[in-house]
Amino acid sequence: MLRNCLHEFSELSYWPGILRLRQSEPAPAMNVLRYNTIWISDVHLGLKCSRAEFLLDFLKHTESDHLYLVGDMIDFWCMKRTAYWSPLHSQVIQAVLDKAARGTRVIYVPGNHDEIFRDYTGTLFGGVQIVSDAVHCTADGRRFLVLHGDEFDGVVKHSRWLAVLGSHAYDRLLTLNRWFNLARRRLGFPYWSLSAYLKHKVKNAVRFITDFEAAVVREARKRHFDGVICGHIHRAQIEMRDGILYCNDGDWVESCTALVERKDGSLAVIHWADESVLLLCEESDEHCHRDRCLVSAD
């Protein structure tokens, strides 16, 4: 079923236009913010509520040596129910591929909504490297684990009694959850997400987020990282938790956030919808957002 979905997707007429890269075309001269690294996730292209116009504006006004796409870039599951694709969604993909063609190292860690790309880990697609998770070293020498985070849904669900049962049970459940969702995928069922379920149960959502963060931090500590960078729960944050720096790059459905690494290796969350004008003005007073034009997704 998933393969059919990808097949239908690849048949659509916008792909040829996207994939025909004009590699020799220089980047347009405009005021841009430069970072070592940018992380974005949870764009959910194919959903009407994807804020593609803001992301396109962000991509046009930023440059980086590395660009990590931390999962749920395209929402294949929702596209199967209600296909929505505007030219802006194509332009986002084109902008990413253009960056790869111009020398940005683009690394794609698929999430649960675009898990079909997990079958292609280890391959290069239009200059974009597809991996299941990644290791990133910042300019100040810190090592970060980069992953989407959906595998921790099941672990979080059982985190209370896992705390009692201990480390082995915890690891086993994490493995079991991976196999469970792999089996669901093979059988054509969508990924079962606790976070999506809890959106309707707001009372439990706060505890879920706390437990999710704790589970991700625990994985980073177990693998001897200084920090972890993930997405999935649509909540941008940088916070030190038990000696591990927990970073979440947020989403482009509601908050329009990205995580960036500055020249000195420090990390920051950018709220593009709120801060872009200020950031661009700081970069250059003279050319303050003269060239900017946000277009509606409709």
List contacts with Mn ion (CB under 5 A).
Answer: 72, 111-112, 150, 232
> Whose Cβ is closer to Mn ion: residue 60's or residue 234's?
234
Nearer to Mn ion, 198 or 280 (CB): 198
What is the smallest separation between the CB atom of 233 and Mn ion, expressed in angstroms? 8
The least distance separating Mn ion from the CB of residue 153, rounded to whole angstroms, comes to 9
Q: Which is nearer to Mn ion, 111 or 227 (CB)?
A: 111
Q: Give the per-residue SS3 of the chain.
A: CHHHHHHHHHHCCHHHHHHCCCCCCCCCCCCCEEEEEEEECCCCECCCCCCHHHHHHHHHCEEEEEEEECCCCECHHHHHHCCCCCHHHHHHHHHHHHHHHCCCEEEECCCCCCHHHHHHCCCEECCEEECCCEEEECCCCCEEEECCCCCHHHHHHCHHHHHHHCHHHHHHHHHHHHHHHHHHHHCCCCCCCHHHHHCCCHHHHHHHHHHHHHHHHHHHHHCCCCEEEECCCCCCEEEEECCEEEEECCCCCCCCEEEEECCCCCEEEEEHHHHHHHHHHHHCCCCCCCCCCCCCCC
Minimum CB distance to Mn ion, residue 83 (Å): 20
Number of other residues whose CB lies within 10 A of the CB of residue 101: 16
Residue 76 C-beta: closest distance to Mn ion, Å = 12
Shortest Å distance, C-beta 217 to Mn ion: 18
CA-nearest of 222, 70, 245 to 146 is: 70
Q: Of 205 and 279, which CB lies nearer to Mn ion in the complex structure? A: 205
Minimum distance, C-beta of residue 234 to Mn ion, in the bound complex (Å): 8
Closer to Mn ion at the Cβ: 130 or 280?
130
Minimum distance from CB of 276 to Mn ion (Å)?
Answer: 25
| Closer residue to Mn ion in complex, CB, 147/280 | 147
Please list, in sequence order, all residues whose beta carbon lies within 8 angstroms of the beta carbon of residue 55, skipping any fewer than 6 positions away: 40, 43, 92, 252, 256, 272
Nearer to Mn ion, 113 or 136 (CB): 113
What's the min distance (Å) between Cβ of 114 and Mn ion? 9
Nearest residue (CB) to Mn ion, 98 versus 115: 115
Distance CA 141, CA 3 (A): 41
Give the C-alpha separation, 147 to 137, whole Å.
Answer: 14
